[in-house]
Amino acid sequence: MAVRAKSTRVTLRDIADRVGVTPSAVSQALAGNTRIGEDTRRVVRDAAKELGYVPSSAARALRNQHAGTIALIVPTTATHVFGHSYFMLVLEGASSVANQHDVQLLISTNPDNDHGLAAYERVMRSHSADGAILTSAAIDDPTVERLIDSGLPVVMIGNFPHLPTAITVGIDDRAASRSITEHLITTHGRTRLLHISGTLDHQTGVDRRDGFLDALRAHGLDEEGAIVEGDLSESSGTTAISALGRRIGDYDGIVAANDDMAHGAITELKSQGLNVPTHLSVVGFDDFGLARVTTPSITTVHVPAQRLASIASERLFEIMAGNDTGWHRHTIDVHLVLRQSCGCGPL
C-alpha cells in the first residue's frame, strides 16, 4: 500500500487518453466551452471526477499569468507582530475572503536577507501572488512605496497619509484617541494625564499621541511631561510607570496607546499599592482580547481588526478584477468599550 499512489499525478493528458480526445479538448470541455459536444463534455467531466483530476496550479499560473494566490504581508519579524493577537484577527479576515474567492493565502513575513530584498518584494517579482494585503508597515519603510509602484494590486491596513496613491483601510486613530482621553477628562474628571505612546515610526503611534494631545489642548490641560514613549509591549508599560518613580503621584489618569501597555502599567501601579481606577484611571486601545480578561478589565477603543482585513481583502479582489473605481481610503468607525479601569464598569 505504501508507495503506490504517490507518483500518479493526474493531468489533462490522462483524461484525454482515457476519453480518446486531445488534452486541449479536455481543457475546453472542463471549461464549459460550447464548441465541445454535449456528450464529450459529460464523458470528460465524469472521467475527471473519477480520476480525481485537479489542475496543476503551477501550469495554470504560468499559462494564465496569475498565481491564484494573494499574500498577506507583515513587514517585520514574525515575533514582533505575530506576538500581538492583532495578526490573528487580520489573518482570519483575509483568510475567509480568500477562501470565498477560491484563492490561496500566502503569508509573507521576514525580510529575505539572502538577497537583500524584502520577502514581499520577492513575492511580488516572482509573481507568486496576484495581490497583497499589507499591514503593520512602518512610516519610513521604503520598500512599501516600491511595492505600490510595482503595479501589484495592494491594499494596506492602516493609515498612510504620506502615500497618496495607496489604497488603505483604517480607523481614525487620532479621533478615537482624543475621544477616549476626553472620556477620562469629562466623565471622570481626570486632569493630570500621562500618555504612554506606541512606537512613533508607525503612523498609529503618532496619531494616537496626537489625539491625546488634541484632547489636552481642547480642555486647556498641561502638556508638560504628558508623554512617555513605549513600544507596545507589556513590559514597556511597566517600565514607563516604574521609571517615573514617585512622580507618578503627579498623575491621575493614564492613556496607553494599546492594551498591553495599559496592562503593564496597571500591574506596576498595583505593585506600588496604587489602585486602578480609584487612584488613577487607566485606558488602553485595541481590544484584541487582553482588555476583557484582566482585573480590572481595561476600558479601551475597540479596533475591528478582522473587519479591517476582510474589507481590505474584498477591495483587493475588486482591484484584481479590474474595478479601479472604488474608494481609495476607507475609514471604519470604532467605539469605546467602557470597562473597569477608568472607573465606569462594575467592580
Partner DNA sequence: ACGATCTGCTTCAACGATAAAGCACATTGC
Partner DNA sequence: GCAATGTGCTTTATCGTTGAAGCAGATCGT
At which residue does the C-alpha cell 480520476 appear? 51
Binding characters for DNA, 11-30, by CB under 7 A (x = yes): xxx------xxxxxx-xx-x
Closest distance of CB 239 from a second copy, Å: 17
At which residue does the C-alpha cell 514607563 appear? 240
Task: For residue 56, state whether it binds a second copy (rule: CB under 8 A).
Answer: yes
Contact 227, 175 (CB under 8 A): no
Task: For residue 321, state whether it binds a second copy (rule: CB under 8 A).
Answer: no
d(CA 71, CA 69): 7
Per partner kind, with CB cut-offs from 5 to 8 A, the member of a second copy, DNA, none near residue 325 is none
Task: For residue 106, state whether it binds a second copy (rule: CB under 8 A).
Answer: yes
Could you report how far apart the first and last alpha carbons of the chain are, in Å?
63
Closest CA to 251 of 216, 225, 218, 289: 225
Binding characters for a second copy, 262-281, by CB under 8 A (x = yes): -x------------------
Task: For residue 49, state whether it binds DNA (rule: CB under 7 A).
Answer: no
Per partner kind, with CB cut-offs from 5 to 8 A, the member of a second copy, DNA, none near residue 294 is a second copy
Residue 165 corresponds to which cell in the numbers above?
496613491
Which of residues 36, 43, 47, 91 is near a second copy by CB under 8 A? 91
Which of residues 28, 87, 183, 334 is near a second copy by CB under 8 A? 87
Specify the stretch interacting with DNA by CB under 7 A; choose among 52-60, 98-106, 162-170, 224-232.
52-60
Per partner kind, with CB cut-offs from 5 to 8 A, the member of DNA, a second copy, none near residue 6 is a second copy
Cis peptide before 296 (omega within 30 of 0): yes
Task: For residue 79, state whether it binds DNA (rule: CB under 7 A).
Answer: no
Whole-number Cα distances in Å, 283 to 127, 157, 180, 196, 253: 44, 24, 8, 10, 8
Span 222-251, contacts to a second copy by CB under 8 A: none
Which of residues 18, 55, 81, 85 is near DNA by CB under 7 A? 55
Task: For residue 52, state whether it binds a second copy (rule: CB under 8 A).
Answer: yes
E-strand stretches of 247-344: 253-256, 281-283, 300-302, 329-331, 335-337
- SS3 state of residue 13: helix
